[in-house]
Structures are given as structure tokens and as C-alpha cells.
Chains A and B, each alone.
Chain A
Amino acid sequence: MMYAELHCKTPFSFLEGASHAEQLWGRAAELGYAALAVTDRNTLAGIVRAHTAAKQASLKLIVGAEVTPCDAPSVVLWATDRAAYGRLSRLITVGRRRADKGDCHLTWEDVAAHAQGLLAGVIPVLQPTPQPGQIQHTTTFHQNPLRHGESCLATPEMLQPYKELFGDRCYLLAELHRGVDDRRHLEQLETLANTTQIPLVAAGDVHYHVAGRMVLHGALTAIRHNTTVAAIQGQLFANAQRHLRTLEEIALVFASIPEALQHTCEIADRCQFSLDELRYEYPEELAPHGQTPLAYLQRLTWQGAQLRYRHGIPDKVRQLLTHELQLIGELQYEAYFLTVWDLVRFARLQGILCQGRGSAANSAVCYCLGITAVDPDQTDVLFERFVSRERNEAPDIDVDFEHERREEVLQYLYNKYGRQRAGMTAEVIRYRTRSAIRDVGKALGLSLDRVDALAQQVEGSHHEPLLTDRCRQVGIDPDSATGQRLVYLVNQLIDFPRHLSQHVGGMVITQGPLCELVPIENAAMEGRTVIQWDKNDLDELGILKVDCLALGMLTAIGKCFVLILKHTGRQLTLANIPEEDEQVYQSICQADTMGVFQIESRAQMSMLPRLKPRCYYDLVIEVAIVRPGPIQGNMVHPYLRRRAGKEPVIYPNESVRQVLEKTLGVPIFQEQAMRLAVVAAGFTPGEADQLRRAMGAWRRPGIIDKFRQKLVNGMLGRGFSREFAEQVFRQIRGFGEYGFPESHAASFALLVYVSAWLKVYYPDAFIAALLNSQPMGFYAPAQLVRDARDHGVPVRPIDVNFSDWDCTLEKATNEECTGKRERGSVISPRALRLGMRMITGLSYKNAKIIKEARCQSPFQSITEFTRRTGMNRTTVIQLARADAFTSVKQDRRGALWEALSQEQRPREMPLLEDLNDDDDERPAGLEKAGLQQEVYDDYRTTGLSLRQHPIAFHRVALNHYQIVPAKQLASLGNQQLVRVAGLVLLRQRPSTAKGITFVTLEDETGTANLILHQRVWERYYTIARRSSAWIASGKLEHSGGVIHVVVNRLEDLSGRLQKLKSQSRDFR
């Protein structure tokens, strides 16, 4: 007997299908099915997985979907060919775009409009649905039960339209599951089939691959209905028959209607569509009329090269370009390059900073087109890493845009290509251990606090092998019946898709309508539409996407350029910043990099004085080396030693030297690992690329070990020592945990240099831009402002008469310029005026109104201010508390007193217009605030104070306790016992640091770097975790210009500073 299963759900019918595609198609092949269809409810999100799984299992895949019109019986539609598939995809798009995210609203009309070429299997819902206990009939499983009422019952009248529409392409699904009365059910079906002349076809309504998955399906159903299994049991299937049954069982069940079984194969034969037929076409309109896209791309590339290399294109680049263009032409990627070029051109026109990153920086074409900024003449580019003939895989261009303006770029794409042709890539949100515990716990009806406690215990993302131990720790007995169920279900549920979200920035653009390639649905965010496939699906089918990513630093740099242009007239771009400036490297070597891209973290800062970057390429290494990957691969210290000349650099042979020479024999980049595999272990470039992908698949660390044998053997065979081979393998495996490719590091290093250059030469504009781009980076505004002041930038407080929403630059007075300056070398002729955005809770709208209202003349009094701006009382109070009325009324408390007397909502009072009824002074009962109080109030309202550092008020007391100011640490001897005190700026606990927490304390003289070992952290947990100001005692450690205090005791200082709004930034 031949049988093809035509009705099967995968996990992409979210929380309905209870088996993964591989399991389903694997099992179906094992059982000898002729084909297995994928028919998820109102979605095609799972078909690519199914396609891959079916290929692996060498089983025929039928592509279809279950569609649920609200005014007709539900129907399973199967695609016979590419055109029919396109219509199915369009149909789902119509329903999805009409509804909210996650929903689909379709009518019979819609189905009728897209029916051509599709085969239909109507799902009959018969009059009495005799399922005991199952009170409401099966339609309750639809997402919207109310829409599937009486009208959807399969009466002959309801079925007739289907028959008329689909003709001989219409079938009636006979699904028998050993229900209450299968015989009667079948009789009814046969009567129906006879009256309507629609042939019956057997199907299984498969939800999982084996009967045992009934348990998981029950839990999923409960999760979907947000209740417990016990509460929803009446709606569960009465038995486990909705699995892939054996052919014998199917033959038995359908023994009385053999023709229904034959029809399954008939349908399978009629469906000749395969996903392999999907051919992706790039938009072609970018080339001017009469010119092929390739010719146009060539022209643009050579033109760009002329611009990039004004003194003549170097031979190396010329060769690269010829080679790349040839390959691009061969693989027909020219339209893709043009698409990205167009995008970047648009951004440039709009003044949006952008820069390509990732593997695209390996391409000289991308450089000449202005997409990337890494000069191929100066670095070793590996174009095969980007586009390769043998891989036949879509290249991946990632472009970073200013994070506040990326939406403009996305909307440009939507507008240019239309919603029908452009869509954002989806991201499948899957169950992790923590979310699985939460949902399963709820479904099993466990008490919420236990479930929550357990969820807190586990690491969020990784598979938790010790789940049973964790259960014990929170008081759930894993050996109890409930405990066993919990552990079993959690393990099963992990990695199940939960819903679709949108990818961070991947856009797919097509020549033809995109919705005929893949359904498009609404995203939760307004103005966004998302396709139903994720990144892996697109890769699988070779569809290109452009990643439009958001980068905060680009925003800051962009704003900085604008400020510099406005105040000095100098027009800076990413490309015209003077290169290799000595002074910039000088300050980088001194770790004076607060606010600088990438190298401002604690770890980077402590590495800078040791690595002493002196040129651009050193920065590339710096960016790449202080990463978890190289740290775990134990590459940092050998590199440091070799760079310092403490260790000789020995290469086993000449070919290895060529690969590793520029990084002193230590593989730091992914590309080096690949090349090393080629030259030392005899990998083909294709195999090396597989190795790279294995490095990328960090989530499943087991995979890379497969390459171990091959790598080590290959190297032993080429005469390398086993020790060297094992070491190389360890280093390569380290990349499994976040390593950088060189091209990526090179792109980032450019931004590092640009931001460092700006910080050195325009510290005023730089700080203003950073503050205006918050939140971003590692540091809070208080530290950034302080750093700027240390560099000689005068900072002025927020004032309604001078401040805009953003921080601005003003002309500095002479005495301001001659003020104290500690590290800076450039005298800033401009002062920073803090913007009203620094005031907690103030809205942009209000700041704008204030700015407009003061155009005519400055505000003279608070009453006048209220009248002219129309601010309500709450806002005026907010401003007064933030001390923004200094120029109007000297004293903060007086201003607040005045603000409090304002009308709740100011009214028009034309007669009193000129009356200035401010009370002259604050009443005698109000005392003027002390300096300390002022500082506290500053922190409370704006998070920083320009008056004094809060710790300064305690200095006398702190001296008494023999607490050392941070600045003096440098002058103390190594290994000396010291005590420091300060505000906690940040707590950082990298996963690679074996439980060590890095903490930065700040006092009025500077910052102190603390190291807390796990046991100290645990012992002083309460203080360590909660307190915002510490007294820390410990041993001082000097090494290579870096000073740490290794803490062994903590005390709380925050009691006295409780009212500060200082918030530490904690990183894990």
C-alpha cells in the first residue's frame, strides 16, 4: 500500500505541532510513506525546515498550509507548482496583513481569489461531534474560536462552493482517530462525499511523530491557552492517534474506503512543486536604462576606485577588483551589490553615517563603492571569505547606520520597493531553559513562586544538564511524579519555536513581488512588515538580505561632525579624518579612552597600556584580542609577551609564517584559523569554510570537535608536533565563543580611531555628541562629563535661558579656559552647555516649546516663564528642582517655592501680561541649601553634579579611616594594603572570568579599579549587589601600568549618600 500524509503540523503552527521537522520527516521515511506534506496553520514559516528535513530523509515534501477562512470550512491547500505556491503565499499575506501580529483574517472571497493551481482538502466538521468530554467541537483549536461557529459546519451547501471553485482539485479529508464513533463519522463523510461529488482522501491531522509526544502536545495546548493541563483536559485530543501511524494501522483504519488511500498518492503526484524551484531575483531597476546591471556595477566600481585612490589605483587593488568583478558577474550577484550601493548612497545623501562591517570588508569592490571603509591595499583581504564559487552561498553585507536614524533607511527601502517587494527578516524566538521552565511549570499547575525560583536558578540560554539538581535546590523533588514530568517536559520543550519576531535589521528585497516568495506579516512595531522566514531559512534557499544594523557610536560621531561643522566650519567625514595621528595613539596608549568606541571597557582599558597600539593595525588587533574567544583560547598572553619582546616568535615553517606573521604567530582572527587549516592541515578552502561555520555555531559546542581529528591528523601528517597541533586546535575552538573575523575588527577599528581622534581634537564636541546619543556605551553621563572637564572642557549647567533639548556648545570665557586641566592637551575655546534632556522625566516636546518661547527675549521671572511657555505646574517644578532657573532666580529653593505657586495649567490672562508678580525673595522660613544638599539634589534630578563630587563631603571622615583617594593609588607601592571609597560606577562580570567581578569606584579625585573574587562577592553579597557606594579594603596590584585593588573586605558607604540618583551600570 502506498500512502502519503497530507495534513501535518510542524512546531511553526506555534504551540500546536509537537515534533520538529527532522523528527517528522525522518519518521515518515522510516515508515515508508510516499510523501509528507507540511501544512501549518495560516503560515509557511516552517516549510524551509521541512524542506531541509525532507531532503535529508530523501522523502517527498508537499508544500501547503491549513487555511481558516472565517465564513467557510477550514481547508488544507497544497501547491502544485511555483505559480500556485506564489498564490498560496499571497493568500496568507493578505490574511496576515489584515490582522494584528500573529493573527490571520481570511474570508471565502480571499480563498476564491487565489485558488488557481492549488489543491484543496476541505476539513469537514460534522454536526454532532461526538467527542466525550470535548464539549465544544474541534474548532476550539482554531485561534479564534468565535469565528468558527455553526456556519463552518460541513454541510453540502457549505461544500458546494469549494467543489465549484476547485473542480477536480477538491477533496474531502477523511480523518479517523479512533474517536467515539468512527463508523458513524465515516458514514456521514461518505454521504457528504456522495451528495457533493467530492472525493474522500485519507489524512491523519498529524501533530507529532510518535505517540509519546502526546504528553508534550498536552502541555503545549495548555501553554497556548494560558492555563493548566488539568483545566484544559477536555479540549485535548482523547488519544495519541495524531502521530505518524504505521502503514498497517492506516490500512486498517481506512479499510472500508481504499480509494481514499489511493487519492493520497494521487495528490502527492499532482504536487510537483519543490522549494528548490524558488529562484531569487534581485531588483534590477537600479541600473540605468540600456545598461546591464553588471556593466553599471563595473562602471561604478572603477569610478569609485578613482576617487578612493587619487594617486592612481595600486596594482594589488586593480587585480583584486578585476578578480572580484569577474566572480560577481559569474555568480550574478551584481544586482545585490547595486542594491547595497543604492542604500548607502541614500544614507550619504541624507547625511546619515553608515559603514559596512563583517565579511563585506573583505571586498575591494565594496570599498570602492563606499560600502566599507577598510582599504584593501593595507590589509589582507580574503574575498573568498565573502563570496566563494564553491560555496555557492549568498554573500552577507552588514551595514551599520546611526541608531537614531536607521528607521529612515528602512522606510526608504519600503518606499522604494514597496511593501510587496521588501520585508524584514523574521527571527524565530525559541524556548530556552528559563522560558521552558516558566511555561511548563505553569501548565503543570506548580506554584508560581517555585517555578520562578527554579527559573531564576538556571542560566537563561544554555542547555542545563543539572536541571534535576537545580530542582532540588529550590525544593522541587525531581524524583516525584510532578518533578519528573517537569524535567521531562522542559527538556523536550527547549528549542521549540514560540513565536516570530523581527530580525535586528535584515531586509529582503526582490525583483518580483516578495509576497509570492514568502508570506509577509505585520510586526508588532508600527510601520514594519516581516517575512515569515528567518536568516537560516534565507541562507538555505540562497536568498540575499541586506543587514541594516544600528550603531550608537555612529550616531555620536554623526552628531559630533555636525557640531564641529557648525562651530569651526570644518567639514569632517569618516573618510577625511587625518590618519595615523601620533597624539591620538599617545592618548590611546595611556588608556585615556572613556567614550571611545569599543576600547572604553574596563578590560580594554587595562589592555591598552600593555599593548601600546601605535598604528591602525594595532587597533585592529586590540579590538579582536580583547574578546572572550581569544581570551579563552589563551592567545592574549603569548601575544603580549611576544610584542614586548620577552618571547621569541618561532614559526614551524614558512607557510605558517605567512599566515601568522602579522599577529606574531598567534592566530587572532577567524581568517587566520581558516588559512592555518589550509596550509598546515591540508583542508580544502571549502572545508576551511565549514570549519568557520562550526566556529560560528557557538551554541552547539560539540560540532567543532568533529574537526579536531581531521585537523590534528592533517598537521601531524605534515610534520608538525602534536603539541603545536593541539594548541592550534584549542585556539580555533576558542573562536567558538565570540571571535572576530579580521574584516570585522578592521571596520570597527576605523570607528575606534575616528572616535579617539575626535576625543583628542574636539573634546567639547565629542562629549556633547556622546551625551546627545545616550543611552550608549559603558559610562553614565556623570562620568563622561567629568572626563570632559578633566580634559579642559568647561561645562555649564542646565538653564532655561540657554539650554536646548540637546547639549550644545557655547563660546567659553577666558577664565573658564584657564581653569584646571589635567590630561587634555588641546585648549577648548568652547564650553559645553548641558541640555534639558539630562533632566529626568522632562519631555522633548516641552524642551522645544521653551526654546521657541525664549526666542524674543530671555525669561525674567518664573511667572513670566510659565505664562510665555504655557508649561503646567508639574513641569515648572521639574525644572526648578533641576536648578534650571539659575539665570532667572539665583537660588534653587527660591525657584522651587515660586514654581509651586504657579497655576496648575496656565490660563490666558492678557490684563496681567506685564505684571511681574514673583515674590522677591524666598521666605525667611526657607533656608538656603548647603553645598552638599545641592549636590545631592543635582544627582537626584539630573544624575550628575557640576558643583562637587558627593564623596568629597566625606573626605575628612574618610581620612580618619585611612582611606586613600583614588588618585593617590598610583603613588603607593605594589602589594600594599589599602582602603578606597567611592561610588560604584559599574560592576562587570564576564562569563570568562571564573566568577570574578570587576568593579569601578569613583571618588572626587578619580577612579579605582577593583577586583572581587567569587568568595568575597558572596561574603559581602548584600553590599556588593545592592549598595551604591562602598568602602573597599584590599591589596594593591601594579602591573604594566595598570592598577587594581584586589578586594578582601567591603563596607557600605551608601547609607550617607542614600538620596543620590547614582545608578551603577552592571554588565554580565
Chain B
Amino acid sequence: MRGDYVMYCSDEAWQGGVRVGMPLSEAGALMNNRSSNRKPNHCHSSSAQLPLTMQHNPDADRCALQELAHWCQRFSPWVALELDDEPSSLLLDMTGLEPLLGHELKVSQQVGRAFERLGYKVQLGFGDHVGTAWAAAHYGNLNTTSPWLHEANLSNLPVEALRLPNKVLDLMASLGISQVHQLQSLPRPALASRLGQKLVQRLGQIEGSCPEVLIPYQPPPEFQFRWVAEHPIANHQSIHQALYLLIERLANQLLQRQQGAMELECQLICQVPTACQYNVPHIDQIVDGKTGNRNVPVVLKIGLFQPRATVDHLEKLVQIHLEQLRLPGPVCEILMRATATAKLKIRQGELFDDPSRRQTQQLATLVERLEGRLGQKAIVGARLNTDILPERMVCDEKLTGLQARSSRRAPSHSKHLQTQKTSYPTIRPLQLHTPPVPLEIIAVVPDGPPIRFRIRGQISQVSRHWGPERIETGWWRGKSVRRDYYRIETTHGNRLWLFRCLEDGQWFLHGSFT
């Protein structure tokens, strides 16, 4: 945190004295001081409010702007992001749209209102060129009747309106150039050699003598297909056919991009008569006003062990999942979407099959199918943790989906498994009792192992023992766990793993060696 600076701030923060470029700690102090001053009797016990801060994330900013660009296509078919490392403006080509949208003043009001509904404040500007429009939006006087910036008004613009890097602005300030008309009066070649080609280009762009292209924003493809039935269908055969169609298209699109699905989402919109009280909590129900039918979406989520784009396999999985469900009514619409994808591994086939490769294939198929039948929680993998506490040494992890894929890739993981395998079987039992079974001790060596104890009504006599092994851990989680573990062998030849809780002296059976 020590090196953090303010990148942007709200109007409220600005009023509080926060400035862009200020160290965050100082900004925090400023805001703190304000809030404590506002209270008439500033008592020390009240917890001071820290200002709300967020880490500057240019990627997220760009994503949000891209989303907005997509949304803006309702105003213009040609929407572009400003060409900049960190774009903050959207450029809309309005050429020829006047018959549709009306006069620019009307358009600006319309757009402004639309943004307002989204919860944004928007600064708009119109111009003959990208340069003028940008200048109008940033430095134009919005009080005038027209938001249009004409070339005649260029000269009084500040040089900041030229979209120039700070370094050039700084130099111009030193030269005393603050307005565009000052620049215009200087010889262009001299300007280019002194203040850079960029300046001349920008000047040309704002004057319209230098062309500027808009590269429209295109959202990345969504792996999503929809099928709408003419009449709601209840016939399984037909539904399957529709599904097959969708999966085929999806798989084709995926293959084109060498992608495989890691997670599939299949939505079946079923039509349920209002009279029918089909109770589906937390599923959106859309009531169709005319027919009095409700549309109930049924959602299938399918995770995959490895990326796939095979039609047959995907179709099979969807079917398995579908079999588990009872549809509340005839299906009127199906939506098929790959919610997570990953790069497909495509290897050349070999003359002789590599059995290990086929094994993973088979494992993948097995896992995916089992999951389809038994549910996601039923199929998990075991992962070793570095925890010292025995019951926390292993944890379950999901095998399918994108997350599982990334954790499987962790390099250290498999190594752990191997080293552990060789060194433990005799020292740790393979099976643990969860929770540990309390033991009734009949005789015990003081501060040592038990001699005789009762377990499930049966009395056991200890013939040999190893230990104690002491475990004291977990203070950072809560109460620390302190135990002395013994491996014991009973006279019956059973080998058990016992521990004594050091806090209260209670004995427990934690595992059995087999």
C-alpha cells in the first residue's frame, strides 16, 4: 500500500482536498479529518471512516468501456473506443443518422437520458471530425444551444483539447502556448520538428485536414446458440433433436477457434400453465400475459474434466443430465452456451495408441458421466494440504470446470503425492475416523500410552506402542489444537491410532491401520 497514489477521485473527494497524484495515505488522512470534524464533539472511540478506495485496474476500465460501447450500438452502428493506452472516451459515428434520430440537440438529450438511466453521467460533444467531437466533449461549452463544435470556434480552445501527452502540454506551457489559435499561427514544419509530429497530426485532425479512422469495437464471440420452437414440444425425441442441433453448432464454432468447452450451460424454457402449481423456487418465472402460461427456465450446468468439442460426447453428457430432470412442461425454447472454454489440445493420431493417453481420455469420460448421474458433489478428487493437523491434511476438490483445471495444473501437487506415498503408509493410517471416536480408558501409563481401553463395548489390551508424537497447531485459525498421538497394537493384533487431547486429557481413536 505504501506506494499507492490517487488515480481518479470523486467530486466529493475533490472538494475534500483530494487530488490526483496524491499519496493514498494522505488522501485517507484528509477524508478522515473531514469526517471527524463534521461531528461536533469528536470523540476518539468512534471508528473513523476510511474513504472507499479501489485498486486502479486499467483492464477492468477497458472492459467496462467495451461493454458500454456494445450498448451504444443502439445509437450508432459504428462505435469505437478512443485509441489510447487507457481509453476513456467512446466515439460514435453519426453520419447519415439524422433522419432517424433527429437534430443533434435532440440526440444529445436522448443519449444523456439513456446514460442517466444506467447510472452514468455523460459528457457529450459533436463535431465534424473525431478531433472536434472529442474537444467538444471535453472542453466545449455545454451551455450553448448546440453541442456542435464548429471549426470557426476552434481557435479559442485550450491546447489540452488536442489529446496530447502531458510532456508536450508541459513544453507548450513553457512556451506560453495555451490556446489552439496560437499554435495555428506558428509555421507547421517548425512545430513538427520542435513539438513532435503528433502535435501536427492532432492539429490536422481537429482542423479536418488529417483523416482519422474509427475502428469499431466488436465484442468477442459468445459461444451461445438459441433454438425456438414454433409450438411448445413435449416429445423427448424432438427435444433431443433440437439439443443435438445446438450442440453441433456450438461444437463447430468451438472447433473453429480451437477451443473446447469446460463448462456448458443449457437452459430449457418450459411452458407451464398458470393453474399448475409447479413450485420452483429461485427460478425466474415469466408469465405470458396472453395465454396465461408461465415460462419456467430449467437450467443444466455441466462441468467438464478437460476441454471438449466433440459433438457426441457433449450430447451424451447433456442427455445424462437431462435424464435426471423432469421438465415441468413442454419446451418452447432452448439456450445452449459454453460458459467457460479453454484451448483444445489437438494431437496427431498415432499408429499405435498410447495407452496412457487413452487412459486419461477414459478417466475424463468416466468422471464427466458419473458426475452427470450422481451430481457434482459426488465426484471429487483428493488433494494433499500442507496442514499439520491430520484431519486437514487432505481435502476434496472439484474435478470438473475451469477452476479444477487450473488447480490440477499446479506443478507441486503431483510431486507431493509421490513423496508422500512412499513415506507414510506405516506411520499414518489410511483411514481416519471423522469425527474421532472417544475412548473409555481403563488403565494408562501416567503421561504415557493407554494400557487397556474400551471401544464399542469391547475391551482391548495394548501390547505394543509407538509414540508419542505431539501435534500443536492451528492457533492462527482459532483455538489451538494440542494432541499426543500413539500408534498402538492390541493383543488382538489390531493396530490403531489414538490421541490424547492435551487440554482435557480425553482419549480418542483417530484411525485404524489395515
Tell me if chain B binds chain A. Answer: yes
Q: Which A residues are within 8 Å of any B CB, using their own CB?
A: 128, 130, 132-135, 177-183, 211, 214-215, 218, 229-230, 233-236, 238-241, 444, 448-449, 451-453, 456, 469, 472-475, 481, 485, 877, 881, 893, 896-897, 900-901, 923-929, 933, 937, 1018-1019, 1021-1023, 1025-1026
Contacts of B53 in A (CB 8 A): 449
Pairwise interchain contact A1021-B33, C-beta atoms closer than 8 A: yes
Contacts of A901 in B (CB 8 A): 190, 193-194
Interface residue range, chain B: 35 or more
Known pairs A134-B386, A448-B1, A897-B175. 16 more at Cβ < 8 A? A132-B388, A133-B388, A233-B388, A238-B471, A241-B470, A449-B53, A456-B29, A472-B47, A474-B48, A881-B174, A893-B175, A929-B176, A1022-B33, A1025-B26, A1025-B29, A1025-B30
Mask, B379-403, CB within 8 Å of A = 1, is 0000001111010010000000000
Known A-B contacts A452-B25, A923-B186; A937 and B174 likewise in contact (beta carbons under 8 Å): yes
Pairwise interchain contact B423-A1019, C-beta atoms closer than 8 A: no
Pairwise interchain contact A133-B470, C-beta atoms closer than 8 A: no
Contacting residue for B390 out of A132, A229, A449, A900, CB 8 A: A132
Contacts of A927 in B (CB 8 A): 176, 182
Pairwise interchain contact A130-B427, C-beta atoms closer than 8 A: yes
How far, in angstroms, from A211 to B50 measured CA to CA in the complex? 39
Pairwise interchain contact A933-B176, C-beta atoms closer than 8 A: yes
Q: Which B residues are within 8 Å of any A CB, using their own CB?
A: 1-2, 16-17, 19, 25-26, 28-30, 33-34, 37, 44-45, 47-48, 50, 53, 171, 174-177, 182-183, 185-187, 190, 193-195, 385-388, 390, 393, 416, 419-420, 422-424, 427-428, 466-473, 475-478, 482, 484
Pairwise interchain contact A218-B475, C-beta atoms closer than 8 A: yes
Q: How far is the CB of B71 from chain A (nearest CB, A)?
A: 33
* Chain A, residue nearest B482 (CB): A239
How far, in angstroms, from A901 to B37 measured CA to CA in the complex? 54
How far, in angstroms, from A183 to B467 measured CA to CA in the complex? 8
Residues of B contacting A: mostly: mixed
Q: How far is the CB of A220 from chain B (nearest CB, A)?
A: 13
Q: How far is the CB of A1061 from chain B (nearest CB, A)?
A: 13
Pairwise interchain contact B388-A130, C-beta atoms closer than 8 A: no
Contacts of A925 in B (CB 8 A): 177, 182-183, 185-186
* Chain B, residue nearest A481 (CB): B478
Query: Can you pick out 6 interface pairs between chain A and chain B where the beta carbons lie within 8 Å of each other?
Result: A132-B428, A133-B393, A181-B469, A182-B469, A456-B28, A485-B476
Pairwise interchain contact B388-A179, C-beta atoms closer than 8 A: no
How far, in angstroms, from A214 to B476 measured CA to CA in the complex? 11
How far, in angstroms, from A133 to B469 measured CA to CA in the complex? 14
How far, in angstroms, from A240 to B33 measured CA to CA in the complex? 46
How far, in angstroms, from A397 to B2 measured CA to CA in the complex? 39
* Chain A, residue nearest B53 (CB): A449
Pairwise interchain contact B466-A183, C-beta atoms closer than 8 A: yes
How far, in angstroms, from A877 to B28 measured CA to CA in the complex? 37
Contacts of A215 in B (CB 8 A): 475
Pairwise interchain contact A452-B2, C-beta atoms closer than 8 A: yes
Q: How far is the CB of A4 from chain B (nearest CB, A)?
A: 24
Contacts of B428 in A (CB 8 A): 132
How far, in angstroms, from A886 to B419 measured CA to CA in the complex? 77
Contacts of A218 in B (CB 8 A): 475-476
How far, in angstroms, from A448 to B53 measured CA to CA in the complex? 12
* Chain A, residue nearest B1 (CB): A452
How far, in angstroms, from A1023 to B30 measured CA to CA in the complex? 10
Q: How far is the CB of B486 from chain A (nearest CB, A)?
A: 11
* Chain A, residue nearest B420 (CB): A135
Q: How far is the CB of A305 from chain B (nearest CB, A)?
A: 56
How far, in angstroms, from A637 to B26 measured CA to CA in the complex? 38
How far, in angstroms, from A134 to B472 measured CA to CA in the complex? 14
Pairwise interchain contact A456-B386, C-beta atoms closer than 8 A: no
How far, in angstroms, from A516 to B187 measured CA to CA in the complex? 76
Contacts of A236 in B (CB 8 A): 388, 473
Contacting residue for B469 out of A128, A178, A453, A485, CB 8 A: A178
How far, in angstroms, from A182 to B468 measured CA to CA in the complex? 8
Pairwise interchain contact A133-B386, C-beta atoms closer than 8 A: yes
* Chain B, residue nearest A476 (CB): B47
* Chain B, residue nearest A929 (CB): B176
Pairwise interchain contact A926-B388, C-beta atoms closer than 8 A: no
Pairwise interchain contact A1018-B37, C-beta atoms closer than 8 A: yes
Known A-B contacts A133-B393, A456-B25; A1021 and B388 likewise in contact (beta carbons under 8 Å): no
Contacts of A474 in B (CB 8 A): 47-48, 50
Contacting residue for B387 out of A234, A451, A452, CB 8 A: A234
Contacts of A130 in B (CB 8 A): 423-424, 427
* Chain B, residue nearest A452 (CB): B1
Q: How far is the CB of B84 from chain A (nearest CB, A)?
A: 24
Q: How far is the CB of A478 from chain B (nearest CB, A)?
A: 11
Contacts of A451 in B (CB 8 A): 1
* Chain B, residue nearest A903 (CB): B193
* Chain B, residue nearest A129 (CB): B423
Contacts of B45 in A (CB 8 A): 469, 472
Contacting residue for A926 out of B177, B422, B468, B469, CB 8 A: B177
Pairwise interchain contact B50-A453, C-beta atoms closer than 8 A: yes
Pairwise interchain contact A229-B37, C-beta atoms closer than 8 A: no
